[in-house]
Amino acid sequence: MKKSLVLLLSIISAASFLYAEKKADHKITISGNDTMQFDVKNFEVKAGKSVIITFKNAGKLPKIAMGHNLVLLKKGITAISFGQKALGAGANAVNPLPDALKGDVIASTKLLGPGEEEVLSFTAPKESGAYEYVCTFPGHFAMMRGTMTVK
């Protein structure tokens, strides 16, 4: 009985996620690669609308050497300054986003290795403007960044 209840709850949870994914106002797929580049540097969303970002590591190098994450920052926080702050807070190849910095973050993925992907689901900020995103694997912030523009 207990196993059946757990299975039922798992199915309901998965179905809810898939339904929410289909209902998203904005769906974006972004990849990171072994040349430390996001394939999407800019995208637009509408204020207060639902957003789903599918982030993929399209690289081939091992995660410990070339892992990638996607960290969407709050308005006014630049990718460069955040990347430097992350290094100062002890970001490393195993923990690229120290907990002390999460107050500056709207949404983030875990560190992904080659061929891995993660889906972020969030509501776009209500305030229009530019919101930068960045990979916080040590050193990647210098090249791996982009902008989500809220209209």
Query: Would you place residue 22 in the very low, low, confident or very high pLDDT band (cuts 50, 70, 90)?
Result: low
Query: Would you place residue 9 in the very low, low, confident or very high pLDDT band (cuts 50, 70, 90)?
Result: very low
Query: Would you place residue 114 in the very low, low, confident or very high pLDDT band (cuts 50, 70, 90)?
Result: very high
Average pLDDT, the chain: 90
> Residues 6 or more apart from 2 whose CB is under 8 A from it?
none
| DSSP state, residue 100 | G
Fold of 25-150: Immunoglobulin-like (2.60.40)
Mean of pLDDT values over 138-149: 97
pLDDT of 15 above 70: no
Give me the count of residues in the chain.
151
Q: Apex CA 39: angle with CA 36 and CA 88, to 5°?
A: 40
Does residue 109 contact residue 70 with C-beta atoms inside 8 Å? yes
The domain segmentation of the chain, as residue ranges, is 25-150
Mean of pLDDT values over 10-22: 46
Percent of the chain predicted with pLDDT > 90: 84
CA 42 – CA 25 distance, rounded (Å): 17
List, for residues 63-96, the tens digit of each pLDDT value: 999 999 999 999 999 999 999 999 999 999 999 9
Give the global pTM: 0.85
Query: Would you place residue 102 in the very low, low, confident or very high pLDDT band (cuts 50, 70, 90)?
Result: very high
- Write out 15-77 in H/E/C secondary structure: HHHHHHHHCCCEEEEEEECCCCCECCCEEEECCCCEEEEEEEECCCCCHHHHCECCEEECCCC
pLDDT at 45: 98
pLDDT at 23: 81
Residue among 76, 73, 31, 36 at smallest CA distance from 53: 31
pLDDT of 100 above 70: yes
pLDDT of 120 above 90: yes
